[in-house]
Each structure stands twice: as structure tokens, then as C-alpha cells.
Structure 1
Amino acid sequence: MERFVDVEPGVRLWVEDIEPTGSHPGEPLLLVMGANASGLVWPDPLVAQLAEHHRVIRYDHRDTGRSTAFEDDPYGITDLAEDAIAVLDALDVPRAHVVGMSMGGYLVQLMLLDHPDRIATATLFCTGPLPFADPAPTPPLPGPDPALLRLWAEMDDPRDVEGEIAWRLEHWRMLNGSGTLFDPAEFRALEERVIAHAGTHDPVVAHARMATDGMERGAELAAVTVPTLVIEAPEDPAFPPPNSGVLARSLGQGRLVRIPGMGHAINRTVISPLAAAILTQTTRAAAAPA
């Protein structure tokens, strides 16, 4: 079921609420996507595997897909974290398993700090720890690959539809890395669907410009008591190792697993191991003694 929810005055988000297909579903599961990406970037086959065990909720961030778009950037990353909680409120979900990718991983960390009672378990991947206020207790973590940074500098260049799709395919090729097969047809189909869903091929760049005030809370992660899984993607060019390992060690209830060959893209090769890791986390929590 698709619907729109008002998360605050003037901000409406597109939400898809997928009923579970299994006979004994667990608590709902909320998917929180990365920067500049609509909820449709979560692949349908992954959503289907998760829906065998959970009611699955995915949504478009502000300035993506069918959600409210802004002329300027009147919000920050902490507002996006609160949007995720507002989606749960709108759907009358008191608590959910939450999965965050890339920037979505940062949002889930903020949710863990500010709304731990709303999260049954968390799964984070293709992301790093929230920044620490100076002085940071660890050496600086590696940032994105320079080639990826050069491509990001072209993100809002004007392009026609075919030019935009070509740029996005090159972006996915870089994000995918060389550890698993990159199939251009797979990601072309994804982007054609994303463009049709949004009704425009204009590049989405708002999240690259938004305020990041309130992120320097890495030191607080040690107090997190919600069971949290961190999945390391060893070929990730945006958050390369050891970002995931540092994140897992920073969390009070963090554990780390690795999906060999995975980069910063959910291609069909990694869908099944990714779903298995997420479901292992959610079912571990359900089986744990009270």
C-alpha cells in the first residue's frame, strides 16, 4: 500500500507499507535509504525476502522521489532522522527493526541515540560512525575514493534523460566496486523506475548541501543498548574499511559481519546474503530471552 504522510507542516513523504507474506511475522521493519536516493533504490527482491518475515516499510526522503521538494535547503540531517520516526508514528508502529544504508546508517545512529525505545534492532551497512567531537579518539578514517569524489563534483551538471541515466550508471559502476559483477542492465532498469516514480530525471543533490549540525555524537554510541549489526562491505569505495569495524566497536551492542565482495550497491549478487544477515539479526532478537 502506498500513501503520503505529513511529518511536519509543509513536509509530506511518500511511504510504501508492504504486508508480510509469512504466517508468523515479527515486528515491522523500516528501511532507511542513503543520501539523494528514493525508497525505490531498495531492490524489490530484497524487500520481498524481508517481507517473508516482517511488515516492511520504505519511504522517500525529503527532496527525493514523490516526497516534498524544496527550492532551497531549509533542513538538516537531524530532521531526516526525525522524519523516520514520524513515518513510524504515522503508521501507528510503536517499535520496529530499522535498517540503514550509507547516510541512512547515520540517520539510524541518531535514532538509536534519541529514540532507542522505538527500535527493536538496528542493522547498518555501507556507512561509518557518527563523527567524534575534537579531539577524536581514533585516527582519521579513510574517506571516499578520489575517483568517486570527482564524479560527485559533476552530480548537478545539466543533462538530458539519456545523459542522466548514463551518469547514474557510471556512478553505480564505481559504487559497486570490482568484488561482484556489475550488470548495467540491472541498474538501468532501476534508474528508469526511479525516474518514472519521481516524474523527473533532474539530479537529486539537496542532501549534499544540507546542514550537518548535530552529527558529532560518536562518543555517545558506546551507551547504545539496542542490538545492532554492522555489515562490512569490503569493496565499498564510499565508506571503505575500517569504517564498519570502527562503527561496530563504537557501539555498546554492536557486532560485525562481512559480505565478501560487496561494494556500495545492492546488486542481485548480494541481495540474498544481505537479506540473510538482516533476518538473522531480527530473529536473534526475537529469540533472545526477555
Structure 2
Amino acid sequence: MRHPATEQYVDAAPGVRLWTERRGAPDATPLLLVMGATASGIGWPEAMVDALADHHHVIRYDHRDTGRSTTAYDEQPYRVVDLAQDVIAVLDALEIPRAHLAGLSLGGMLTQLVLADHPDRVLSATLMGTCALSAHPYVAPDGTSLPVAELPPIFPEVLEMWARPVEDAGTEAELDRRVAHWRVLGGGQLPFDEAFFRDLERRVIAHAGTYEASTAHGRADDSGMERTVELARNEVPVLVTVAPAEPVFPPPHPQHLAQVVANARLVEIPGMGHALPPAVQGPLVTAILEHTATAAARQAR
């Protein structure tokens, strides 16, 4: 069902305001969605947010330098770890002591930082399309140990697209560029839903009031993110999605993540890449809701 949304700006740091949106019953257990790099909260598809809001009080928000949140990286540079602290700032401002977290891509890294540094604020975590913030090697099924640096890299076609200069040729040209980007990120196992992603990006642009693409997160200092020890002693229930078509953090990145984060388990989402098309939303919502329900039952015991 379609849920009414409540919008609110929160102060995350001096001179930094973040746009937030809440859906679902206010007394339902909170679920905070954490998006990826340079992506606003509108990147979480409407149908997916509403399906989750049937069971949770769902919060999504715009990172700094995305959507309607403060755009000030050039005047106020920040570190990636500061974006993780924004997660806590959102929970504090909305007076939410603890929440389920679900993070995609960079959002999955930020969720790991919160797990490591503020486990008391997390009921459960779902990590999608991301890599482990751990130096422990990956151990293959045959017992072979593989250093983190030797795990599969980002696919060349993704890197090539990221390396292209972004030219200002108007809204429609920018939409074409973004749709082409989603086609590559989709991974190719599922038919590409061009209409869905074009509509998604139209709403992202309308929400932000500009089609200009931010590069702030790519320029932010990403030092100090490793949390090997803290993740190894994690006690919060963690779900790691396996996306077989993932081109950014391809398998066995999720298997490695489930090895180095204690109390983690895996679930495969058939055909999924580094995107959230309609074909994966149903299985993904089901997996998240089963995970949050299991975590709640465990906590009740």
C-alpha cells in the first residue's frame, strides 16, 4: 500500500542539514535505509519503501551533497567516516534509540562503521552490494586463503563509465547518461528495465532541483575505515545479500563479508547486480523483512 510521507530536516553537524523522510506507522520498529555514494534517498524505489513500510517505520535520507541536503563539500570538506556519523545524527534527531539498518554500496560500508562504532544503536543490519571493512583474508571453499587485495576488482566497463567526463548537455542528455550507467550496473542477468530507471532518475532530479551530478563523495578522504577487530566480535544480526550479477563488488566479496563479520549470514537475490530494478525488489524486501523479524524474535527471547 502507499504510505503517507513525513519530511523533516535535521542538523547533522555545524552548517550541515540533512533531508529525511519517514513512512509507516510511527510506533512500528524503525528501519533506516542508507544509500550509496552520490545517491540521494530518492534512489530507494518507491514501491520498495512502501512494501517495507507495511511492517516498519521506514526512514530514508539524503547524504550530504545529494538531494535536498547541504551541498558544501568544497567549503567544508569531510571524511567518509563523517557520513557514518550522519547516520547516528539522523537517529538522534528523530529520537530513535535503535533501528534496523539497510545499506547499499557505500551505504553498506557506512552501516558497517555504525555496527563497529555504535552497535548499541543497531537492531539488525542488511548489507547489499558492498565490501568488508576488514583486513582478514577470504577463505575459499577449498581452504585457499586469498588476501583482500586479490579479491575480484570492479568490472572494467564500470570503471570506464566512471572515468568518462560528465558534460552539461541538458536534462535529457544527463538522463541518458544515468540510464546507461544503470544498464552497466545492472550486470546483465536480468532484462534491463530502461523505463523504470529513467523514471527513477527523473524523480531524483526533480527532488534535488538540479541535474548536476556531485563528485563530493568520490573526493572525500576514505582513510580510517578499517574495522577488522570490531566486526569480528559483532553481536548484531547481519544479513549479507549475494548478487550474482554484481559488477562493483562481485562474488566472493559477499562471502568474504559474511566470513569477517561475526553473526552474519548470506542470502542470494537471483539476477541482482548493483541496482534495485523491480525484478529484485520483491525478493529483497522478503529477505529484509524475514531478517528483521528473526532479529526481533531473537531479541525478545
TM-score normalised by length of structure 1: 0.94
In the other structure, the counterpart of 2:295 is: 285
In the other structure, the counterpart of 1:3 is: 8
1:18 aligned to 2:23?
Answer: yes
Give the 5 Å matches for 1:42-191: 42-72=44-74, 74-132=77-135, 138=148, 140-154=150-164, 156-191=166-201
Specify the SS of the correspondent of 1:255.
strand
Going from structure 1 to structure 2, the CA distance change for 1:109 and 1:188 (only over 3 Å counts) comes to same
* Residue-pair matches, total: 286
Q: What displacement does 1:163 show?
A: 1.3
- Counterpart residue type for residue 179 of structure 2: L
- Counterpart residue type for residue 253 of structure 1: N
Q: 8 Å contact 1:38–1:60 — kept in the other structure?
A: yes
Identical-residue share of aligned pairs (%) = 52
Q: What displacement does 1:183 show?
A: 1.1
Specify the SS of the correspondent of 1:260.
coil
In the other structure, the counterpart of 2:263 is: 253
Going from structure 1 to structure 2, the CA distance change for 1:271 and 1:214 (only over 3 Å counts) comes to same
Q: 8 Å contact 1:132–1:219 — kept in the other structure?
A: no
Q: What displacement does 1:138 show?
A: 4.6
Distance in structure 2 (CA, Å) of the matches to 1:32 and 1:178: 25
Distance in structure 2 (CA, Å) of the matches to 1:275 and 1:58: 15
Once the two structures are superposed, residues 136-180 of structure 1 have per-residue CA deviations (whole angstroms, 9 ceiling, x without a partner) of 955621121111101001253333211111110000000011111
Distance in structure 2 (CA, Å) of the matches to 1:77 and 1:122: 19
Q: What displacement does 1:20 show?
A: 2.8
Going from structure 1 to structure 2, the CA distance change for 1:287 and 1:71 (only over 3 Å counts) comes to closer
Q: What CA RMSD, in Å, does the superposition of the two structures yield over aligned residues? A: 1.7
Q: What displacement does 1:117 show?
A: 0.3
- Counterpart residue type for residue 45 of structure 2: P
Distance in structure 1 (CA, Å) of the matches to 2:281 and 2:271: 12
- Counterpart residue type for residue 213 of structure 1: S
Distance in structure 1 (CA, Å) of the matches to 2:118 and 2:166: 34
Provide structure 1 residue ranges, at least 5 long, that are not aligned to the other structure. Answer: none
Distance in structure 2 (CA, Å) of the matches to 1:114 and 1:71: 24
Distance in structure 2 (CA, Å) of the matches to 1:33 and 1:236: 16
Specify the SS of the correspondent of 1:62.
coil
Q: 8 Å contact 1:122–1:226 — kept in the other structure?
A: yes
Specify the SS of the correspondent of 1:281.
helix
Specify the SS of the correspondent of 2:204.
helix
Provide structure 2 residue ranges, at least 5 long, that are not aligned to the other structure. Answer: 1-5, 138-145
Q: Find 1:221's aligned residue among 191, 214, 231.
A: 231
Specify the SS of the correspondent of 2:223.
coil
Q: 8 Å contact 1:155–1:203 — kept in the other structure?
A: no
Q: What displacement does 1:219 show?
A: 4.1
Going from structure 1 to structure 2, the CA distance change for 1:77 and 1:139 (only over 3 Å counts) comes to closer
Going from structure 1 to structure 2, the CA distance change for 1:26 and 1:71 (only over 3 Å counts) comes to closer
Q: Find 1:241's aligned residue among 246, 251, 272.
A: 251
In the other structure, the counterpart of 2:205 is: 195
- Counterpart residue type for residue 4 of structure 1: Y
